[in-house]
Structure 1
Amino acid sequence: MNIRLLTPNDSDAYRKMRLVALQKHPSAFASSYKEEKDRSAAFYGERFQSEESFTFGAFKEEKLTGSVTLLRETKLKLKHRALIVAMYVSDESRRKGVGKALISAALEKAKGIEGIEQIYLAVESTNEPAKRLYSSFGFEVFGKDKKAMKIEDIYYDEDHMLLFL
């Protein structure tokens, strides 16, 4: 397994994986398949060049099998914070250390950015494997957003987690 920052050359593979993730696990993401299905690969490629957003990919034999994004806050009063978003590991790569490697890469990047002191993330409240993964790095739940998402007529709560670096 190889973990590295994604580049515009990875945008097509990322787009394909992202759409699968949004279809298979809709409650894990704030965005929806319907909202992203018409986005071009170039849309993601532009994101991969941002100086405030860092998307790491996990590759197995050159195939993208997972990703996570670290977003640095841009407002002056919030620049000491970053967010982890869009975490996904393909079904066939789960329970093989991919998620752990991705979070490790994102946290190492955060530690290397001057001024970042804390990392936030949100996770669907019943996603116990993800919560265990984040907790293993020291993230702690500091709040619950009840009915954070609504998919058709079903509501999903989110746990908000925080790690002080």
Structure 2
Amino acid sequence: MEIRQLHKADADHYYVLRLEALQESPQSFAASYEEEKMQTVEKYQNRLATTENAVSFGAFIDDHLVGMVTLIKEKPQNLRHRASLVAMYVKPEARRQGIAQALVTTVIEQARQMSEVEQLYLSVVTSNEPAKRLYQSLGFAVFGTEKRALKIDNVYYDEEHMVLFLED
């Protein structure tokens, strides 16, 4: 397994994995498959080429992208001490191999290197116990629960909001 930053050349594979993630785990994302499939690969080429406030990482097995995560640094002056972990996904057949932990650890390390960032946030659907256990094992703590955060096919999903303070 290799974890590395994704670049413009990875956009095709990222787009395919993103669509798979939205189909396989719709309750884990704010975006829907229906919305995202209307996007173009160029959108992701541009996103992966611009790394000033956001950086995406991919997990590769035998040169195949099997997992991804993005770190976004807040832009407003009064929020520059914050960053968010978003768009986390690992293919089902690649789970339980330490890939998710490696991706999250990479994001934490990257956040620690970003100027001004002191806090790392994420949101996770309350029913995703494996993800919640992973995040808690890496030091994230729940600071709030948002009831009915997502509504998919008339079903509501609650989310827990978590934070990791990077400075002691």
Bucket of the pairwise TM-score, normalised by the shorter protein: over 0.9
Q: Which residue of 2 aligns with 1:140?
A: 141
Report the Cα distance in structure 2 between the residues aligned to 1:38 and 1:7, rounded to whole angstroms. Answer: 21
Identity %: 50
Output the aligned Cα RMSD.
0.6
Report the Cα distance in structure 1 between the residues aligned to 2:105 and 2:121, rounded to whole angstroms. Answer: 14
Deviations 1:15-59 (A, max 9, x none): 001101101110000100011002111101111122111100000
SS in structure 2 at match of 1:110: helix
Deviates more, 1:18-27 or 1:40-49: 40-49
Q: Which residue of 2 aligns with 1:154?
A: 155
Report the Cα distance in structure 2 between the residues aligned to 1:152 and 1:99, rounded to whole angstroms. Answer: 28
Q: Which amino acid aligns with 1:123?
A: V
Report the Cα distance in structure 2 between the residues aligned to 1:40 and 1:14, rounded to whole angstroms. Answer: 11
Q: Which residue of 1 aligns with 2:18?
A: 18
Q: How many residues are paired up?
A: 165
Q: Which amino acid aligns with 1:32?
A: S
Report the Cα distance in structure 2 between the residues aligned to 1:152 and 1:26, rounded to whole angstroms. Answer: 10
Structure 2 stretches lacking a partner, 5+ long: none
Structure 1 stretches lacking a partner, 5+ long: none
SS in structure 2 at match of 1:48: helix
Q: Which residue of 2 aligns with 1:85?
A: 86
Q: Which residue of 1 aligns with 2:115?
A: 114
1:1-165 aligned within 5 A: 1-50=1-50, 51-165=52-166
Report the Cα distance in structure 1 between the residues aligned to 2:154 and 2:83, rounded to whole angstroms. Answer: 32
Q: Which amino acid aligns with 1:16?
A: V
Report the Cα distance in structure 2 between the residues aligned to 1:164 and 1:105, rounded to whole angstroms. Answer: 16
SS in structure 1 at match of 2:15: helix
SS in structure 2 at match of 1:67: strand
Report the Cα distance in structure 2 between the residues aligned to 1:14 and 1:138, rounded to whole angstroms. Answer: 28
Q: TM-score, normalised by structure 1?
A: 0.99
SS in structure 1 at match of 2:101: helix
